[in-house]
Amino acid sequence: MKTPPLTRRKLIKGLTMGSMVPLLGANLIGCSDGSDTLAQDLVDALFGTFEHGVASGDPLTDRVILWTRLTPLQAGPVSVAWEMSTDAAFADVVASGSGTTDEAVDFTVKVDAQGLRPGTRYYYRFHSGDNTSVTGRTRTLPAGAVAAASFAVVSCSNYPAGLFNVYKEVAAQDLDAVLHLGDYLYEYSSTGYASERAEEFGRVVQPANEILSLQDYRTRYAQYRTDADLQAAHAAHAFINVWDDHEVANDAWREGAENHDPATEGSFSERKAVAIQAWYEWQPVRPPADELDIIYRRFQYGELLDLFMLDTRIIGRDEQLSYSDFLNGEFIDVEGVRAAFGDPMRSLLGDAQRTWLRDELGQSTARWQVIGQQVLSGRYQLPAPIMEALDPSIAGDDAISQGTTAVLAAIDAKSKPEAERTPEEQALLDSAIPYNLDAWDGYEYERDTLMTYAADMDLKLVMLAGDTHNAWAAQLTTPDARIAGVEFGCASVSSPGLEGVLGADAAALFSPLVVQLVDDLRYANLSDRGYLYLRFNADSVDASHRFISTIDSPDYAVLTDKTIEVAVARNDMLLL
């Protein structure tokens, strides 16, 4: 039996500027200022401390979500009040309220602060008894004519892998918002992925087991949110979040995940439900009107840009393909895998989200259409021998040697005019298949349909992606080679990139080589941790890949930026 979608079974009554909005599983409970029930709750409630910082998110022109979490001093409901001001000294308080929270929502608190002015910076803080939180800053969406907007794009923050220096850098920037594209946390045990130096860093995950239950997910979020640099980033900027797979389990799809075994770990749908519940509790995200597993939504930055945040992971994704299922001896069945990933029935988005996106893009009159989502959407294809060397299920002990030989042979073949290539060289290039079947390349028909629509509608499309832990910049094209837009994939906050597979030296060498091999690719960094800085104006987009020198120590340097300008010329979008 298919598990029914998560729904809000209780409606908020009197959700006003002064409402406290704790999230209880699939239920949303509100308590309005001035009610007799609230007054009694405050008399009965005890107080708590603010150990997990503050956050804001999902800004609109007239409202924004404010978040905190109370650590109770004793068992029972905890009283909390909030205030919002146009100045950091709180001399001009424009909104305030109070309420309670309790263990049903892990003592988290959400406020949908309303009645605000467009394009305005506000300051906010919380109180519980004599305890006051740090002050947070946030900004509402602008309206009308907008000269510029800037964002930091981040993803893949793995607590045991190293320090969150990237978040520290993001906190120091002047931004309209932070776009978090998922893998905010990881589900593995204390001996799992990227935990080799966790004890050295003092970052062994809690709980020690792989997280499965609601309490497990809550505990892991709580640990992540004790990190000072993550707290600083949240306090400095509004976040606009989507989840990826690790908020539930590795390589998740609609009905399962690579890192979920129903025989030993129970129902995937139940695991997904509690993971989503914890995500809503711990993230500054406005719950949707109905189904809590729907996170696709639109943010309008005046006439300058429309931001569409998607879910390519949970709600509609068909199960990923694997090259290990297409082996003919030690070689990949190229034609077989092409037929599979080109199947028009395969979907990342699902019917409802795909229809919504097409309708919203069709209605957009903004200068730029920006899509924030989880996985790479461009054509990242490499000759099959390279993929065979990169795939751990196929490669042998000399995988690096095999891969290097294949890369050099492919580059040599590609450097020649087609008429001068030998049949073997042309066959090598013609064997190109996707680098990552978990990305849009593994769902080719749906990707090509979106690219064709963007080109037909003359959209100024900018796709953003996380997931890979590496930095990318690519031209987006249609199957008939028209320009459809551009894509930027951000590096990870701390999760290891391709250098974890190839070694640091080989990954650094491979970065420029892969650009030569992939037609639409303009830039790749496969070695460094960092974030993507974007600044939009009417005529261009500046995209700056910013890296840090280390995640092993709090003492780090910012490495040389790689800045790429996207300009509009001859009614096409060009990557310059």
- Distance, CA of 547 to CA of 493 (rounded, Å): 9
pLDDT for the residue numbered 390? 77
pLDDT in tens, 262-277: 999 999 999 999 999 9
User: Would you say residue 35 has pLDDT above 50?
Assistant: no
Phi, psi of 19 (to 5 degrees): -85, 140
Nearest Cα residue to 111 out of 90, 133, 143: 133
pLDDT tens-digit readout, 88-119: 999 999 999 999 999 999 999 999 999 999 99
Which tokens in the block code for residue 439? 């990305």
For residue 12, CA distances in Å to 7, 23, 27, 171, 352 come to 13, 11, 9, 33, 26
Range from 34-48, 466-480, 514-528, 536-550 carrying the lowest mean pLDDT: 34-48
The pLDDT of 27-37, averaged and rounded, is 37
Which tens digits make up the pLDDT trace of 298-317? 999 999 999 999 999 999 99
Token code pair at residue 21? 């909005």
Mean pLDDT of the chain: 90
| Least confident stretch, 227-231, 323-327, 425-429, 500-504 | 500-504
Reply yes or no on whether the pLDDT at 10 is more than 80: no
List C-alpha distances in Å: 111 to 46, 85, 293, 331, 390.
Answer: 19, 14, 20, 56, 47
Question: For residue 403, what pLDDT is reported?
Answer: 79
| Residue 199 clears pLDDT 60, i.e. is over it | yes
Sketch out the chain's domains with CATH numbers. Answer: 1-141 (2.60.40.380), 384-431 (no CATH)
Q: Above pLDDT 70, what percent of the chain?
A: 90
State both tokens at 349: 């988005």
How far apart are alpha carbons 477 and 441 in whole angstroms?
13
Maximum CA extent, the chain? 85
Q: pLDDT tens-digit profile of 421-435?
A: 999 999 999 999 999
Q: What pLDDT is attached to residue 40?
A: 52
Q: In what order do the strands lie in the sheet with 108-113?
A: 108-113, 64-69, 54-57, 238-241, 177-180, 148-154, 530-537, 540-547, 562-569, 572-575
Helix 399-414 vs helix 504-517: angle between axes, to the nearest 10 degrees? Answer: 30
**Is the pLDDT confidence value at 30 over 90?**
no
CA distances from 67 to 15, 64, 80, 112 (A): 16, 10, 11, 9
**CA nearest neighbour of 464 among 237, 292, 299:** 299
Q: What is the enclosing helix (H) or strand (E) of 120? A: none
Q: Is the pLDDT of residue 574 over 70?
A: no
